[in-house]
């Protein structure tokens, strides 16, 4: 972790302990931009471009051979322990399903007691630093006391760093990227004293689609799911059906059920992933005939959205659907330091965290 960020983290810690949470959050937000250098994979010397093409397609994928073991032998040595090392740390996870790099944000106070974990899956052409900067999730983690895991898709698996949500061999329990991501999450839960009953997964676009798949396949691991501008599990099984699903053509009837509470954000002006896919994600969670409470929300930025809440018989929210009017393919309320963000609200990070913290997994 660069020395300037260590100093910033120490200052933010002092502000947090003195009760100045807003000041600490803003300090971290300002420091979570490009982190002083472009993202570099811990197991590769090649940097990922920080600028994304204007019309990203989430399904340009070619399976490439995995890099030789010698080329990925060097992993980050900076890892938190139960003793409470804090920071934005790099690592590599390898299991039978494959190998991926990751970054892990651990706030001060780690080791004092089990804390929640939010797994964040970036979209195509993005990387952990970029996604962290755009969503400001690390600043929220500092203020609220939870850890954040950012798995990094490899260009060896997909040249544009898209998660393989649209491939049938990555839609089954115990196989492919879902198995790898579940294994990575389980390892970090064990290593870093995470509260296993409060583990959540969220993602944007291709990452949102993969988050939905994880919610369908691993309900014993994740307590809730957040899908921003993504698609339902089973919406596609190959490239042609993926392109059709992204246009809102078919796929919803094949959606696999999501077995955990789910919150969806989607812009109704999204021309990359049709907004009907957001409704399909909700249907995969609550069923096609579920009745919602609807509320028109006027954000302080002047943007309007329709919030639909689906409740259990006991009154707890099972699902939320935020349809953001006039928004495109971007993280709502995001920071300009990251790609594919819309600074106008509502704040998806804030809303997802509120939803997540209402739910915990029962043993």
What percent of the chain stands above pLDDT 70? 74
| The two structure tokens encoding residue 335 | 């920071």
Q: Is the distance from CB of 308 to CB of 320 less than 8 angstroms?
A: yes
Mean pLDDT of 145-174: 94
* CA 57 remoteness from chain centre: 18
Mean pLDDT of 17-42: 47
What percent of the chain stands above pLDDT 90? 63
**Which residues have a Cβ under 8 Å from the Cβ of 74 and sit 6 or more positions away?**
42, 43
Find the angle CA(303)-CA(308)-CA(310) to the nearest 5 degrees. 160
Convert the pLDDT of each residue in 125-153 to its tens digit: 999 999 999 999 999 999 999 999 999 99
Q: Is the distance from CB of 171 to CB of 103 less than 8 angstroms?
A: no
Q: How far apart are CA 297 and CA 293, in angstroms?
A: 13
DSSP for 20-76 reads -HHHHHHHHHHHSSSTTS--B-TT-SPBPPSSPPTT--TT-----PPPPGGGG----
DSSP β-bridge partners for residue 317: 311
Q: Is the distance from CB of 191 to CB of 149 less than 8 angstroms?
A: no
Listed ranges 167-171, 188-192, 228-232, 344-348; the one with the highest mean pLDDT: 228-232
Q: How far apart are CA 315 and CA 134, in angstroms?
A: 33
Convert the pLDDT of each residue in 267-322 to its tens digit: 999 999 999 999 999 999 998 778 889 999 888 788 899 999 999 888 888 999 99
Mean pLDDT of 98-113: 87
Instruction: Look over the chain and give the mean of its residue pLDDT values, rounded to a whole number.
Output: 81
Bond prior to 346 in cis (omega within 30° of 0)? yes
Residue 35: what pLDDT? Answer: 33
Length of the chain: 363
| Domains located in the chain, CATH noted | 75-356 (3.40.50.1820)
| The two structure tokens encoding residue 106 | 């651990």
Judge whether residue 265 has pLDDT over 80: yes
Residue 26: what pLDDT? Answer: 56
């Amino acid at each position: 972790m660069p020395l300037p960020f260590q100093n910033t983290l120490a200052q933010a810690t002092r502000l947090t302990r003195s009760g100045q949470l807003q000041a600490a959050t803003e300090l971290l937000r300002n420091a979570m931009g490009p982190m002083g250098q472009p993202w570099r994979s811990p197991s590769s010397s090649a940097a990922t471009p920080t600028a994304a093409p204007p019309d990203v397609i989430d399904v340009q994928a070619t399976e490439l051979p995995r890099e030789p073991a010698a080329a990925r032998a060097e992993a980050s040595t900076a890892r938190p322990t139960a003793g409470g090392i804090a920071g934005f740390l790099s690592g590599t996870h390898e299991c039978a399903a494959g190998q991926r790099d990751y970054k892990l944000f651990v706030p001060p106070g780690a080791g004092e007691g089990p804390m929640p974990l939010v797994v964040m899956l970036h979209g195509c052409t993005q990387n952990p630093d970029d996604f962290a900067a755009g969503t400001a999730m690390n600043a929220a983690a500092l203020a609220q006391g939870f850890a954040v895991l950012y798995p990094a898709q490899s260009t060896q698996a997909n040249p544009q760093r898209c998660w393989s949500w649209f491939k049938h061999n990555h839609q089954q329990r115990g196989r492919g990227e879902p198995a790898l991501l579940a294994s990575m999450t389980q390892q970090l839960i064990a290593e870093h004293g995470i509260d296993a009953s409060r583990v959540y997964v969220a993602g944007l676009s291709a990452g949102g689609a993969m988050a939905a798949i994880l919610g369908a396949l691993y309900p014993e691991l994740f307590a809730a799911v957040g899908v921003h501008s993504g698609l339902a599990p089973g919406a596609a099984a190959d490239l042609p059906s993926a392109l059709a699903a992204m246009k809102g053509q078919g796929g919803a009837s094949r959606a696999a059920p999501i077995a955990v509470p789910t919150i969806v954000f989607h812009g109704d002006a999204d021309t990359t992933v049709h907004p009907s896919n957001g409704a399909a994600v909700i249907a995969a969670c609550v069923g096609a005939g579920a009745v919602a409470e609807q509320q028109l929300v006027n954000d302080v930025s002047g943007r309007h959205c329709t919030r639909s809440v689906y409740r259990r018989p006991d009154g707890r929210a099972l699902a939320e659907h935020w349809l953001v009017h006039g928004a495109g393919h971007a993280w709502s309320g995001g920071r300009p330091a990251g790609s594919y963000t819309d600074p106008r609200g509502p704040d998806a990070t804030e809303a997802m965290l509120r939803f997540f913290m209402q739910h915990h997994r029962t043993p």
